[in-house]
């Protein structure tokens, strides 16, 4: 079978790596791919927002299944376009992708279906939004309605910050039309976890849970980023919590989308916050998480091609909750100097060849090849150094050992990936078990 993966990040490299393990997959194309994906398949010089170009490529190559990594082409309707050409594609339709493409849509949907989430109101003008915030008080969360490349959310601790966030949306138009409607949400306290479910419109398979680290610096300090690392499984996600997530979130979401005439097919990413009152949805995404994918996929023992192919056909092969792996995985992101601000590209990366541990995979994100074949940086997040082991602490040790072998000028990475899980075990709130977590001594 021929597979086309759309995207160019660490998530897409992880998808290519996992799909290449399927005996059913003969050829993998990645559009546009990166300096790592070209070692697994063929990079295709078509950008992920060139929907017509992607259709033409898939038709010409007679691609059997297309898998879409990032949200923007999904929200723009790539699935509807491919299907109108009779091409099989795994992802939600334009309308179903509104769960991520419009925060207002997602919050209205959750309110209607009784899915637990923070109280919120939507506004289309600066004045009405400011007057609401003055009444409601701080801390409060301001979200641009549309896609804003991960930058449209402000957690405001005071009125001045909240007012500035609203000014950025309505007056400075920092997010263009994506900020012309704003969702204002109550601030919730709790640990955040990511749950990914492969959905076929009716049924779902929940993949191993994970937690990512969004802040740039250790101890969750510094600016927000696309994610500086992740680990799986998240020990805080117990079987009884997962049951609640299935019953009160995933099941009603799929049922509700079908009732609205937009059955949800694709990966449903549930960004959860674990509050005292129980799990609540912080956000839905219509694709896999990055870097969560890099540590979740190594723990999935099913053939990923079978899962995506059957889900795309509306008849998911395995349903329910993925059997727990005996192993744990950790991903440490190495980023360019200056990230998440402006960065310099084209910096030589050395040492990847020194990493010989078979439990370690280096997923590429912002990398490319110079004319002489040298691996160079091309983006903010450069590599996702991922390791698996019988415990999270061993996986982290292996990942950090590999990180120590790799170098590029200005490289930055967090030194405390997984700290919450490790602390949880050290404090005794999760018993040590084989294949689970082991506290660092
Ligand atoms: N790691 C967060 C996301 O993929 O949205």
Residue for token digits 């099913």?
302
Picking from 83-92, 119-128, 421-430, which range would have the lowest pLDDT averaged per residue? 421-430
Structural domain including 172 reads: 125-180
* 208 and 344 inside one domain: yes
- Whether the upstream peptide bond of residue 233 has omega within 30° of 0, thus cis, is yes
Identify the pLDDT of residue 420: 86
Tell me what pLDDT residue 150 has: 78
Residues 225 and 346 in one domain: yes
Domain co-membership, 338 together with 204? yes
Same domain, 253 and 212: yes
Total domains in the fold of the chain: 3
Residue 134 lies in a domain: yes
Please tell me whether residue 295 adopts helix, strand or coil conformation: helix
Q: Report the percent of the chain where pLDDT is more than 70.
A: 97
Same domain, 367 and 410: yes
Model confidence pLDDT, tens digit, residues 381-414: 999 999 999 999 999 999 999 999 999 999 999 9
**Do residue 171 and residue 252 come from a single domain?**
no
State phi, psi for 272 to the nearest 5 degrees: -105, 150
Task: Extract the tokens encoding 81.
Answer: 């376009």
Residue 382 lies in a domain: yes
Q: Which of the listed residues 180, 208, 243 is the one where a domain comes to its end?
A: 180
**Which ligand 1 atom minimizes the distance to the CA of 292?**
1
pLDDT of residue 435: 46
What are the E-state strand segments in 145-256? 153-156, 182-186, 191-200, 204-206, 211-212, 215-217, 221-224, 229-232
Task: Please check whether residue 266 is in contact with residue 199, taking contact to mean a CB–CB distance below 8 angstroms.
Answer: yes
**Contact residues for 412 (Cβ-Cβ < 8 A; gap 6+):** 216, 334, 335, 336, 337, 339
Dihedral angle sign, alpha carbons of residues 248, 249, 254, 259: positive
Ligand 1 atom with the smallest distance to the CA of 288 is 4
| 32 in any annotated domain | yes
- Secondary structure of residue 204 in the 3-state scheme: strand
Averaged pLDDT for residues 122-131: 96
For residue 291, how far is its CA from the centre of ligand 1 (angstroms)? Answer: 7
Residue 103 lies in a domain: no
The SS3 assignment for 211 reads strand
Same domain, 366 and 217: yes
Q: What is the pLDDT of residues 72-105, one digit of tens each?
A: 999 999 999 999 999 999 999 999 999 999 999 9
pLDDT at position 423, please? 85
Between CA 14 and CA 374 the distance in angstroms is 21
Give Cα separations from 75 to 51, 66, 68, 83, 338 (angstroms): 11, 16, 11, 15, 30
86 belongs to a structural domain: yes
Phi, psi (deg, nearest 5) at residue 282: -85, -40
What are the φ and ψ backbone dihedral angles of 336, each rounded to 5 degrees?
-70, 150
The pLDDT of 14-25, averaged and rounded, is 98
Q: Is the CB of residue 245 less than 8 Å from the CB of residue 279?
A: yes
What pLDDT is recorded for position 55? 98
Name the average pLDDT for the chain: 95
* 29 CA distance to ligand 1 middle (Å): 23
Total Cβ atoms within 10 A of residue 394: 18
140 and 72 housed in the same domain: no
Q: Does 116 reside within a domain? A: no
38 in the same domain as 131: no
With a cut of 80, say whether residue 438 has pLDDT above it. Answer: no
Q: Which residues 6+ apart lie within 8 Å of 110 measured at CB?
A: 116, 117, 281
pLDDT of 69 above 70: yes
Residue to substitute in 269, 333, 380, 381 for testing ligand 1 pocket (most ligand atoms within 8 angstroms of CB)? 269
Ligand 1 atom at minimal distance to the Cα of residue 290: 4
Do residues 268 and 173 share a domain? no
Kindly report, residue by residue over 139-183, the tens digit of the pLDDT: 999 999 999 987 889 999 999 999 999 999 999 999 999 999 999
Domain stops at, among 90, 106, 134? 90
* 303-316: pLDDT as tens digits: 999 999 999 999 99
Residue 118 located in a structural domain: no
Residue nearest to atom 5 of ligand 1 (CA): 289
Pocket of ligand 1 (CB under 6 A): 212, 227, 285, 289-290, 292
């Amino acid at each position: 079978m021929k597979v086309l993966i759309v995207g160019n990040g660490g998530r897409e490299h992880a998808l290519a790596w996992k799909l290449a393990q399927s005996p059913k997959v003969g050829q993998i194309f990645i559009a546009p791919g990166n300096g790592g994906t070209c070692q697994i398949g063929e990079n295709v010089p078509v950008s992920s927002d060139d929907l017509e170009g992607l259709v033409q490529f898939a038709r010409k190559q007679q691609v059997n299944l297309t898998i879409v990594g990032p949200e923007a082409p999904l929200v723009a309707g790539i699935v509807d376009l491919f299907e109108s050409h009779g091409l099989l594609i795994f992802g939600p339709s334009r309308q179903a992708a509104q769960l991520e493409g419009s925060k207002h849509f997602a919050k209205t949907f959750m309110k209607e279906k009784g899915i637990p989430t923070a109280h919120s109101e939507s506004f289309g003008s600066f004045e009405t939004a400011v007057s609401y915030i003055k009444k409601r008080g701080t801390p409060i969360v301001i979200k641009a309605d549309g896609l804003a490349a991960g930058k449209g959310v402000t957690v405001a601790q005071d009125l001045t910050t909240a007012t500035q966030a609203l000014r950025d949306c309505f007056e400075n138009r920092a997010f263009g039309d994506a900020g012309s409607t704003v969702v204002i949400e109550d601030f919730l306290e709790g640990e955040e976890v990511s749950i990914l479910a492969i959905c076929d419109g009716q049924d779902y398979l929940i993949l191993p849970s994970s937690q990512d680290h969004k802040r740039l610096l250790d101890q969750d300090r510094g600016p927000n980023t696309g994610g500086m690392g992740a680990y799986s499984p998240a020990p805080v996600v117990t079987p009884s919590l997962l049951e609640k997530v299935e019953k009160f979130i995933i099941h009603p979401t799929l049922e509700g989308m079908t009732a609205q005439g937009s059955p949800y097919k694709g990966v449903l990413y549930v960004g959860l916050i674990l509050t005292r009152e129980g799990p609540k949805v912080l956000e839905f995404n219509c694709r896999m998480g990055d870097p969560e994918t890099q540590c979740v996929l190594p723990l999935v023992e099913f053939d990923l091609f079978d899962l995506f192919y059957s889900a795309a056909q509306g008849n998911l092969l395995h349903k329910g909750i993925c059997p727990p792996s005996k192993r744990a995985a950790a991903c440490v992101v190495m980023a360019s100097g200056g990230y998440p601000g402006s960065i310099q590209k084209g910096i030589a990366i050395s040492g990847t060849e020194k990493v010989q541990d078979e439990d370690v995979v280096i997923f590429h994100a912002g990398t490319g090849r110079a004319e002489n074949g040298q691996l160079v940086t091309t983006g903010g997040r450069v590599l996702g150094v991922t390791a698996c082991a019988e415990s999270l602490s061993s996986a982290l040790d292996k990942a950090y050992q590999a990180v120590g072998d790799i170098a590029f000028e200005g490289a930055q990475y967090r030194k405390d990936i997984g700290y919450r899980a490790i602390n949880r075990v050290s404090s005794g709130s999760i018993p040590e078990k084989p294949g689970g977590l082991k506290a660092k001594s």
